[in-house]
Copies of this chain bind each other. A is one copy, B any other.
């Protein structure tokens, strides 16, 4: 369970680091400036780049009158959540109740974009709802009934957003009639506050055509209108996902978005064309532990560090990207081994690293990578400080 003392300790250590380096340097990712005794593998986050990513998304939302409720699944960090709140986020999004418990230390308005089902989960959710404002995304009468029953027993109010499937076909009510039924049912429950609609447009690629966006907009607008006709006011229409976050203004039905990955970005976002490599704020530092062939090295970062997630846009492109060796490919991961094959040009020029050398990797998917770390390291352009991944591994 998260300890409050831990939070204050790490916040003060971060603050100290910053004050000591008022003239912060630009992040140049010069690997030779990383101390030789830095543990590897480790995730290193550029404070400068993370702050710039947070500012860019907040500026976009401010410009378009959208509320930003960042999904904390990416960073799982109270440090990053605080930066997002300070920048202007209206609250935070989490997936699980355990994450909400952690994030409640820096935010009093949390949306759990996930159905709270199961006795254990509901019991913890109700304890949380006694302390802070909590909303939940659900897509079934069964979930609404269970939530109402638990909230009634606990004597609390819980906000509800009804989850609509807009095309990704994961969770979400799939038809209009059922959506209206569920919204009406929720609104009639004494301990539930119907707050609106949520959706996850994970099927929409960046820079999709206008028809895709029109269909997405129409799906939400028609429901909002029908609900209004029934006297149900829709406070929030919440979209999500980093890939399309900065196109959200194309869907005028939305008034809130829940992107997560933008805080650090990763190779998925780069290959989807959502950001540039120099907007990726988190990298994995790894050490070469074996060089079995002239064109091949093995690093100490495998699937236990990077995850075995493949690249969303290019599944066969390998398990990460080496910014200093653009032609190299991470061809295979075991749990603790990452196997990297270098190009003929790298071999010919004598640039292939040796045993003991260190490498930067940009992971395919930073969210799962962060979840595998007990801690990460903040780099302010000059010095490194360690922070815990506060909400790591919270499955319930």
Chain A positions near chain B (C-beta within 8 angstroms): 36-42, 73, 95-96, 114-115, 117-121, 123, 139-140, 142-143, 146, 163, 165, 169-174, 287-293, 298, 300-301, 303-305, 307-310, 332, 334-337, 339, 354-356, 367-368, 371-374, 392-393, 395-396
Contacts and interface: CB of A to CB of B under 8 A. Distances in A.
Nearest to A123: B37
Given A39-B120, A143-B355, A165-B292, 5 more contacts: A117-B355, A140-B355, A169-B292, A304-B393, A307-B308
A339 B170 CA distance: 7
A141 to B, nearest CB: 9
A170 B337 contact: yes
Contacts of A368: 303-304, 308, 335
Contacts of A95: 335-336
A396 B38 CA distance: 10
B305 A308 contact: no
Given A36-B119, A39-B120, A289-B117, A170 B307 contact: no
Nearest to A287: B118
This chain: how many copies in the complex? 2
Contacts of A367: 335
Nearest to A301: B395
Contact of A293 (B146, B174, B291, B337): B174
A77 B177 CA distance: 50
Contacts of A334: 170
Given A305-B395, A309-B308, A40 B339 contact: no
**Which 8 interchain pairs have the tightest Cβ spacing?**
A142-B355, A171-B290, A115-B289, A37-B119, A39-B120, A95-B336, A117-B289, A118-B287
Contacts of A392: 393
Contacts of A39: 118, 120-121, 395-396
Given A118-B287, A169-B292, A356-B118, A336 B40 contact: no
Contacts of A301: 395
Contact of A335 (B73, B119, B292, B337): B73
Contacts of A395: 39, 41-42, 300-301, 304-305, 372-373
A293 B335 CA distance: 36
A114 to B, nearest CB: 6
**Most chain B CB inside 10 Å of its own CB: which residue of A115, A173, A339:** A115
23 contacts: A39-B121, A42-B396, A73-B336, A117-B289, A139-B290, A140-B290, A143-B289, A143-B290, A169-B292, A170-B298, A170-B337, A171-B292, A172-B292, A173-B292, A303-B309, A303-B368, A304-B368, A304-B393, A308-B308, A308-B309, A372-B395, A373-B395, A374-B393
A57 B142 CA distance: 46
Contacts of A309: 303, 308
A354 B171 CA distance: 14
A41 to B, nearest CB: 5
A217 to B, nearest CB: 22
A304 B120 contact: no
Contacts of A287: 117-118, 121
A368 B334 CA distance: 10
